């Protein structure tokens, strides 16, 4: 029995690509978690593993749709799953076997509560994910089943002895135990023949070794059933864990949605698989929550393989780049997107190559480090991927940096990798522009009439004025 | 007929008593190599084999052929299964002596016999069906097969198998109640599937596919009082079987053959060295079987390296720098100079190791190696420690050089590393010149790491090799080459090193 809210089938999470630090996903997870560690972990796990199958994304979008319409029911289901896990974690006394039995006894009650809660809400949910979950809770956890399980747990106390078949193992030890149903009270027919055989060993009462050996032997005989009980307890706990974590992701989505709409910011379900990326009022959610508002951007990339963003320092380039990456990632996780409207193709891997703060010195060691990181990205890239570069190759001089970047951009876009490249390298931007390739979109920072940045990113050709060194040359003349 | 040696091609024991470690082992780091290979072999008794270089190219080829066979994983598995079983037999027989409860001890003895007989016949059968083509392993196969066919071995094996089968059929039921354990004949009609019912009840919550069946864990120690008590009851239930088991133990106490023990030890020489080599090869370091000759000072070797160093680096996933060595025609002396930490000492070790390892019949660190089998390897490495004694350091060095020159023949190999550093440069040059003249007169191959740059100009048979820096300042690697080389990196060259040029990226991205 699987919750099936994150994956319709037996889908396993794909490996993560995007660099969480580069996209500052930490802020996103914190907003989803609202201080709850479990929600943080659930949000993190899911967002680090974006999907690529549009059907799988749609599955989550529909589950999320149910959640947005029934927030309180989803929150109480999540609370119940969380409570069940916490209660089970509290049982840590006793030997493995008796602990497993107690956990299973407790699980029966928790499963009953879950079934009842679910059946109360079932009618309001329409997504295939929830419908299937609720149906299986109803059919698999019916009262007959739970009563039968409880009776079995009772028998497992072995009050009237243990009966097992055995054979000879290593060193002629008794092994290969196969357990018979526990004998009942008194002269159970299954034990009568032991009196007939007359072969009985009584553990010497005055012997310390036999005090230890007898329970040890008992444990040995019960090893399989004990393992079965432990496995069973783990299965039930894993079910609750999975339910808690899967619901946790959606509760995280609810939290984020409430915070954003509370600030009057738009959210939307994205159109998955549109070959021409476009957006209206796209913003970066973490910064928006921090600032209490956001500057949104519109984007119409048509089929551009390369989007190159140039412009003033502190003009909103990096924020724009992160908003593109975050929206793409959220879309592929089945989440809503922080925009009024958002459409994009599915990226087969979202990769980042951001300048690291410590990379600003001009030593070849830093350049080597940057190249090594890019090389690691190339190792994992495949056509259809999205690569976000922020000030890449600024750790060497402009000429060298541009040479290297041009080489990489041309190769990757030629291979069908979408590249969004934020750069200060005017030489690079100029060269890319001069290629006159229609598959390239050039954006730049916008200024208002007074020359102050609006923090909006708009179409615009690379201009040398943006670059500090050129600015210096312009102001002071050729040195 | 006995089992012939796969190290010496003969029936007699050779190299059995411990040969002391030769003087040059430490200088060349051969001590580390032998220690590691011996450890990998899992038998200290293998070490003396590594201290006995061969002088007969035929015998070297004999061993190389066995090594090549064992490179084949299928052949190696046959040998490894055998050596593992023999080792197990040894430790288990030792443990058996401590078992006091007869029904337990007899059963263990039976298991040991079964394991041993399977190992011995498995070796012959495994070698027979394997692709092994070396005369050495074929002789081993024939001799062991003969051993297996002989009467004593057959009786041992058959008796053990019959007992095992009878014990395997024993079934009984146990009832545990309070402080009592009862035993009764097995009830064929009872349902003993209770555990499966428990699992089936909670199966529906499983998130992961079921794991592999787990094996019954064998009790490492003897049975405890309860288990032993139950075993006594079972013996009462099956008296004839347990009587036969005791008789078998009494009849076959000394069943391990000395020839099988030696075959095991000799195989370990090969397996140990290959196991030691495996991580080095996995790190991408080349090895090869050298072409060896008994005469001539010719040397040709590509991509040689210090095997001890490479083994250390490989442990951390690193690779050693390789160098080419060549002595053509009349050339005899390689004079190595260059910057500090430029890999000169390492090259000196590699040169010495190459000669010793080739003469053991082992695969050597390098490619396309042609080398001759020296009568001895002499080394003189500068030692950091002071010789608190009669002679000064310089005097000690010169005395040591005199000993070397007195004992060396034209067929010896001499490795000198940074000697004469305790004197002034002028004196060092003077002394070096004189020593070089002696070595040249001797006509023995020599590698000499020296800070006296012009040494190589002093004789036409001397060749200069210089340590050079390759790569940029961050990925500095040292190559020792016949002539110096230099080059400065440029942006695209750096990109190229990371595989990030246009063409490289196109080639790398999977489509």
Give the pairing type, strands B446-449 and B413-417. parallel
pLDDT at B479 over 80: no
Contacts for A194 with CB less than 8 Å, ≥ 6 apart: A200, B173, B175, B182, B183, B184
Average pLDDT, integer, range B16-41: 86
Say if A31 falls within a structural domain: no
Contact A197/B222, CB-based, under 8 Å?
Answer: no
Angle between helices B194-202 and A223-262 (to 10 degrees): 0
Residue of A nearest to B188 (CA): A165
Q: Could you tell me the residue ranges of all domains in chain B?
A: 54-168+254-266, 283-508
Contacts for A336 with CB less than 8 Å, ≥ 6 apart: A64, A253, A257, A267, A268, A269, A270, A330
Distance to chain A for B192, nearest Cα, Å:
4
Cross-chain CB nearest to B216 (options A169, A171, A367): A169
Give the pLDDT band of residue A33 (cuts 50, 70, 90).
very high
Domain count, chain A: 3
Contact residues on chain B for A236, CB-CB shorter than 8 A: 202, 205
Contact residues on chain A for B166, CB-CB shorter than 8 A: none
d(CA A4, CA A59): 10
pLDDT at A94 over 60: yes
| Residue B482 CA: distances (Å) to CA of A105, B189, B338, B458 | 79, 85, 11, 16
Contacts for B153 with CB less than 8 Å, ≥ 6 apart: B117, B120, B147
Say yes or no: A344 and A434 in one domain: yes
pLDDT in tens, B221-238: 678 888 999 999 999 999
Cross-chain CB nearest to B498 (options A161, A375, A381): A375
pLDDT at B119 over 70: yes
Across A82-96, A125-139, B483-497, the highest mean pLDDT is recorded for: A125-139
Closest by Cα among B306, B408, B404 to B357: B306
Closest by Cα among B312, B315, B322 to B285: B322
Residue whose entry in the numeric block shows the structure tokens 């072999």 = B41
Distance to chain A for B240, nearest Cα, Å:
15
Average pLDDT, integer, range A336-352: 94
Average pLDDT, integer, range A150-155: 89
Say yes or no: A361 and A389 in one domain: yes
| Residue A478 CA: distances (Å) to CA of A396, A471, A474, B171 | 22, 11, 8, 100
Distance to chain A for B502, nearest Cα, Å:
5
Greater pLDDT, A361 or B242? B242
Cross-chain CB nearest to B199 (options A148, A172, A232): A232
Greater pLDDT, A323 or A210? A323
Distance to chain A for B199, nearest Cα, Å:
5
Say if A420 falls within a structural domain: yes
d(CA A100, CA A104): 6
pLDDT in tens, B357-402: 999 999 999 999 999 899 999 999 876 544 444 456 677 778 888 8
Contacts for B121 with CB less than 8 Å, ≥ 6 apart: B148, B157
8 Å CB contact between B343 and B65: no
Contact B174/A404, CB-based, under 8 Å?
Answer: no
Distance to chain B for A156, nearest Cα, Å:
9
Q: What is the pLDDT of residue B475?
A: 46
Contact residues on chain B for A243, CB-CB shorter than 8 A: none
Q: What is the pLDDT of residue B243?
A: 94
Average pLDDT, integer, range A313-317: 81
Q: List the beta bridge partners of residue B464.
A: B335
Say if A377 falls within a structural domain: yes
Residue whose entry in the numeric block shows the structure tokens 């943080």 = A40
pLDDT in tens, A327-337: 999 999 999 99
Distance to chain A for B215, nearest Cα, Å:
10
Mean pLDDT lowest for which of A133-142, A184-193, B484-493? Answer: B484-493
Q: How many CB atoms lie within 10 A of CB A370?
A: 24
What is the percentage of chain B residues whose pLDDT exceeds 90? 51
| Residue A96 CA: distances (Å) to CA of A23, A99, A161, B212, B213 | 44, 5, 19, 21, 20
Mean pLDDT lowest for which of A9-23, A278-292, B324-338? Answer: A9-23
Cross-chain CB nearest to A235 (options B103, B197, B207): B207
Give the pLDDT band of residue A192 (cuts 50, 70, 90).
confident
Contact residues on chain A for B475, CB-CB shorter than 8 A: 368
Say if A102 falls within a structural domain: yes
Q: What is the pLDDT of residue A323?
A: 95
Contact residues on chain A for B108, CB-CB shorter than 8 A: 170-171
| Residue B504 CA: distances (Å) to CA of A352, A371, A384, B139 | 20, 13, 19, 52
| Residue B316 CA: distances (Å) to CA of A241, B320, B375 | 38, 11, 36
ipTM of this complex > 0.95? no
Say yes or no: A286 and A359 in one domain: yes
Contact B491/A214, CB-based, under 8 Å?
Answer: no
Average pLDDT, integer, range A117-140: 92
Q: Which of A173, A191, A209 to mutate to test the interface with B (most CBs of B within 10 A)?
A: A173
pLDDT at A453 over 90: no
Give the pLDDT band of residue A283 (cuts 50, 70, 90).
very high
Average pLDDT, integer, range A211-234: 87
Contact residues on chain A for B234, CB-CB shorter than 8 A: 168, 172, 174
Q: What is the pLDDT of residue A99?
A: 87
Average pLDDT, integer, range B309-324: 89
Contact A202/B499, CB-based, under 8 Å?
Answer: no
Say yes or no: A191 and A293 in one domain: no
Longest dimension (CA), chain B: 100
Q: Which of B107, B178, B181 to mutate to test the interface with A (most CBs of A within 10 A)?
A: B181
Q: Is the Cα torsion angle A278, A282, A286, A287 positive or negative in sign?
A: positive
Contact B107/A168, CB-based, under 8 Å?
Answer: yes
Contact A164/B174, CB-based, under 8 Å?
Answer: yes
Q: What is the pLDDT of residue B141?
A: 96
Distance to chain A for B173, nearest Cα, Å:
4
Say if A205 falls within a structural domain: no
Which two tokens mark B424?
Answer: 């002034």
Average pLDDT, integer, range B332-359: 84
Q: What is the pLDDT of residue A399?
A: 73
d(CA A151, CA B496): 70
Across A404-408, A462-466, B397-401, the highest mean pLDDT is recorded for: A404-408
Q: How many CB atoms lie within 10 A of CB A184?
A: 14
8 Å CB contact between B46 and B16: no
Average pLDDT, integer, range B16-38: 84
Mean confidence (pLDDT) of chain A: 86
Q: What is the pLDDT of residue A209?
A: 80
Q: What is the pLDDT of residue B393?
A: 65
Which one of 2.40.30.10, 3.40.50.300, 3.40.50.2300, 3.30.930.10 gives the CATH number of domain B283-508? Answer: 3.40.50.300
Say yes or no: A117 and A190 in one domain: no
Question: Is A208 exposed, middle or buried (CB count within 10 Å of its CB: 0-12, 13-18, 19+)?
Answer: exposed
Cross-chain CB nearest to B170 (options A167, A200, A404): A167
pLDDT at B487 over 50: no
Contact B174/A412, CB-based, under 8 Å?
Answer: no
Give the pLDDT band of residue A121 (cuts 50, 70, 90).
very high
CB crowding B53-79: b at 16 or more within 10 Å, else e: bbeebebbbbbbbbbebbbeeebbebb
Query: For A335-391, where are the alpha helices, taking DSSP H only?
Result: 364-380
pLDDT at A465 over 70: no
Contact B198/A199, CB-based, under 8 Å?
Answer: no
Q: Which of A3, A108, A142, A171 to mutate to test the interface with B (most CBs of B within 10 A)?
A: A171
Q: What is the pLDDT of residue A365?
A: 59
Contact A1/B204, CB-based, under 8 Å?
Answer: yes
Mean confidence (pLDDT) of chain B: 85
Say yes or no: A241 and A368 in one domain: no
Closest by Cα among A173, A234, A56 to B205: A234
- The pTM of this model reads 0.59
| Ordered DSSP codes for A4-35 | -SS-SSSPPPPPP-S-TTTTTHHHHHHHHHTT
Say yes or no: A241 and A383 in one domain: no
Contact B500/A372, CB-based, under 8 Å?
Answer: no
Average pLDDT, integer, range A20-47: 92
Say if A212 falls within a structural domain: no
Contact B104/A180, CB-based, under 8 Å?
Answer: no
Q: What is the pLDDT of residue A339?
A: 97
Distance to chain B for A140, nearest Cα, Å:
8
Say yes or no: A142 and A170 in one domain: no
Q: Which phi-psi region, left, alpha or beta, contains residue B296 (left: φ > 0; alpha: ψ -120 to 50)?
A: left
Closest by Cα among B345, B342, B366, B313 to B477: B342
Domain with residue A325: its CATH number is 3.40.50.300
Give the pLDDT band of residue B2 (cuts 50, 70, 90).
confident
d(CA A424, CA A433): 14
Which two tokens mark A41?
Answer: 């972990």
Say if A6 falls within a structural domain: no
Say yes or no: A87 and A183 in one domain: no
Say yes or no: A454 and A334 in one domain: yes
Give the pLDDT band of residue A363 (cuts 50, 70, 90).
very low
What is the percentage of chain A residues whose pLDDT exceeds 90? 47
Q: What is the pLDDT of residue B10?
A: 78
Say if A29 falls within a structural domain: no
Contact B499/A375, CB-based, under 8 Å?
Answer: yes
Cross-chain CB nearest to A213 (options B194, B225, B505): B225
Q: How many CB atoms lie within 10 A of CB B499?
A: 16
Distance to chain A for B23, nearest Cα, Å:
44
Contact A378/B193, CB-based, under 8 Å?
Answer: no
Residue of A nearest to B219 (CA): A170
Average pLDDT, integer, range B44-49: 91
pLDDT in tens, B155-198: 999 999 999 999 999 999 999 988 889 999 998 888 899 988 88
Task: Give residue A293's domain range.
Answer: 266-476
Q: Which of A105, A107, A199, A417 to mutate to test the interface with B (most CBs of B within 10 A)?
A: A199
Contact residues on chain B for A218, CB-CB shorter than 8 A: 176
Q: How many CB atoms lie within 10 A of CB B346?
A: 24
Residue of B nearest to A239 (CA): B205
Mean pLDDT lowest for which of A453-457, B256-260, B317-321, B418-422? Answer: B418-422
Say yes or no: A284 and A405 in one domain: yes
What is the percentage of chain B residues whose pLDDT exceeds 70? 85
pLDDT at A11 over 70: no
Say yes or no: A105 and A90 in one domain: yes
Q: What is the pLDDT of residue B14?
A: 52
| Residue B146 CA: distances (Å) to CA of B149, B154, B166 | 5, 11, 29
Contacts for B412 with CB less than 8 Å, ≥ 6 apart: B374, B375, B376, B377, B378, B442, B444
Distance to chain A for B207, nearest Cα, Å:
6
Task: Enter the DSSP assignment of B46.
Answer: G
| Residue B96 CA: distances (Å) to CA of B111, B234, B253 | 11, 21, 11
């Amino acid at each position: 029995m699987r919750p099936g809210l994150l994956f319709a089938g037996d889908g396993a999470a794909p490996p993560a690509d995007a660099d969480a630090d580069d996209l500052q996903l930490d802020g996103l997870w914190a907003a989803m978690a609202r201080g709850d560690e479990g929600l943080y972990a659930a949000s993190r796990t899911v967002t680090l593993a974006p999907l690529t199958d549009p059907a799988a994304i749609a599955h989550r979008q529909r589950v999320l749709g149910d959640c947005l319409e029934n927030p309180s029911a989803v929150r109480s289901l999540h609370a119940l799953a969380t409570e069940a896990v916490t209660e089970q974690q509290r049982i840590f006394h006793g030997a493995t076997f008796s602990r497993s039995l107690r956990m299973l006894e407790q699980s029966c009650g928790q499963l009953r509560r879950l079934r009842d809660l679910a059946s109360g809400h079932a009618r309001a949910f329409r997504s295939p994910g929830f419908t299937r979950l609720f149906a299986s809770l109803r059919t698999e956890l019916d009262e007959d089943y739970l009563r039968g399980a409880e009776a079995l747990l009772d028998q497992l106390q072995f009050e009237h002895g243990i009966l097992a078949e055995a054979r000879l193992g290593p060193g002629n030890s008794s092994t290969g135990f196969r357990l018979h149903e526990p004998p009942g009270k008194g002269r159970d027919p299954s034990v009568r023949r032991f009196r007939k055989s007359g072969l009985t060993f009584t553990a010497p009462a005055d012997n310390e070794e036999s005090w230890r050996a007898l329970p040890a032997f008992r444990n040995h005989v019960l090893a399989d059933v004990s393992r079965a009980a432990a496995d069973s307890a783990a299965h039930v706990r894993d079910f609750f864990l999975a339910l808690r974590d899967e619901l946790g992701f959606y509760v995280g989505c609810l939290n984020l949605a409430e915070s954003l709409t509370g600030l009057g910011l738009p959210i939307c379900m994205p159109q998955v698989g549109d070959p021409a990326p476009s957006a209206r009022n796209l913003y970066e959610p973490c910064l928006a929550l921090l600032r209490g508002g956001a500057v949104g951007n519109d984007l119409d990339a048509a089929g551009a393989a390369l989007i190159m963003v140039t412009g003033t320092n502190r003009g909103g380039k990096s924020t724009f780049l992160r908003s593109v990456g975050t929206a793409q990632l959220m879309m592929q996780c089945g989440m809503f997107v922080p925009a009024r409207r958002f459409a994009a193709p599915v990226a087969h891997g979202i990769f980042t190559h951001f300048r690291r703060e410590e990379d600003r010195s001009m030593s070849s060691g830093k350049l080597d480090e940057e190249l090594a990181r890019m090389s690691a990205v190339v190792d994992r890239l495949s056509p259809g991927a999205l690569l976000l570069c922020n000030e890449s190759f600024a750790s060497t001089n402009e000429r060298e940096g541009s040479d290297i970047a041009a080489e990489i951009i041309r190769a990757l876009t030629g291979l069908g990798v979408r590249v969004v490249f934020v750069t200060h390298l005017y030489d690079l931007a100029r060269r890319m522009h001069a290629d006159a390739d229609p598959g390239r979109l050039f954006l730049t920072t916008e200024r208002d009439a007074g020359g102050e940045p609006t923090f909006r990113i708009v179409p615009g050709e690379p201009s040398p004025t943006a670059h500090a060194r050129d600015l210096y040359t312009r102001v002071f003349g050729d040195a | 007929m006995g089992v012939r040696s796969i190290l010496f091609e003969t029936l007699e024991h050779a190299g059995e008593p411990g040969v002391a470690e030769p003087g040059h082992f430490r200088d060349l780091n051969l001590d580390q190599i032998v220690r590691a290979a011996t450890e990998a072999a899992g038998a200290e008794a293998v070490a003396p084999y590594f201290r006995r270089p061969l002088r007969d190219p035929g015998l070297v080829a004999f061993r190389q052929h066995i090594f090549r066979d064992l490179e084949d994983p299928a052949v190696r598995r046959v040998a490894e299964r055998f050596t593992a079983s023999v080792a197990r037999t040894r430790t288990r027989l030792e443990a058996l002596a401590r078992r006091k409860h007869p029904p337990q001890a007899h059963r263990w003895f039976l298991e040991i016999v079964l394991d041993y007989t399977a190992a011995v016949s498995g070796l012959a059968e495994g070698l027979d069906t394997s692709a092994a083509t070396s005369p050495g392993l074929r002789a081993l196969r024939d001799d062991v097969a003969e051993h297996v066919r002989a009467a004593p071995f057959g009786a041992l094996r058959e008796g053990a198998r019959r007992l095992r089968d009878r014990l395997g059929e024993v079934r009984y039921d146990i009832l545990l109640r309070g402080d009592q354990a009862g035993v009764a004949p097995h009830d064929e009609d009872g349902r003993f599937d209770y555990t499966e019912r428990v699992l089936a009840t909670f199966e529906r919550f499983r998130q992961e596919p079921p794991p592999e069946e787990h094996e019954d864990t064998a009790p490492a120690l003897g049975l405890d009082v309860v288990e032993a008590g139950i075993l006594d009851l079972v013996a009462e239930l099956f008296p004839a079987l347990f009587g036969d088991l005791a008789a078998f133990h009494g009849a076959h106490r000394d069943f391990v053959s000395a020839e099988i023990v030696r075959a095991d030890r000799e195989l370990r020489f090969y397996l140990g060295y290959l196991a030691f080599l495996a991580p080095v090869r996995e790190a991408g370091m080349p090895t090869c079987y050298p072409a060896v000759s008994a005469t001539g000072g010719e040397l040709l070797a590509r991509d040689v390296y210090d095997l001890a160093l490479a083994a250390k680096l490989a442990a951390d996933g690193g690779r050693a720098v390789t160098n080419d060595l060549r002595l053509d025609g009349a050339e005899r002396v390689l004079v190595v100079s260059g910057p500090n930490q430029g890999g000169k000492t390492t090259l000196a070790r590699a040169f010495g190791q190459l000669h010793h390892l080739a003469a053991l019949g082992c695969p050597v660190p390098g490619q396309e190696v042609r080398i001759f089998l020296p009568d001895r390897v002499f080394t003189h490495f500068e030692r950091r420690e002071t010789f608190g004694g009669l002679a000064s350091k310089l005097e000690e060095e010169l005395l040591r050089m005199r000993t070397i020159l007195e004992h060396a023949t034209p067929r010896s190999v001499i490795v000198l590393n940074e000697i004469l550093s305790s004197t002034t440069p002028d004196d060092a040059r003077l002394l070096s010149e004189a020593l070089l003249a002696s070595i040249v007169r001797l006509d023995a191959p020599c590698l000499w790491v020296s800070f006296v740059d012009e040494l190589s100009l002093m004789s036409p048979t001397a060749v200069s090799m210089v340590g050079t820096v390759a790569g940029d300042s961050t990925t500095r690697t040292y190559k020792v080459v016949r002539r110096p080389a230099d080059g400065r990196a440029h942006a695209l060259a750096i990109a190229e090193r990371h595989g990030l040029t246009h063409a490289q990226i196109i080639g790398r991205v999977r489509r």
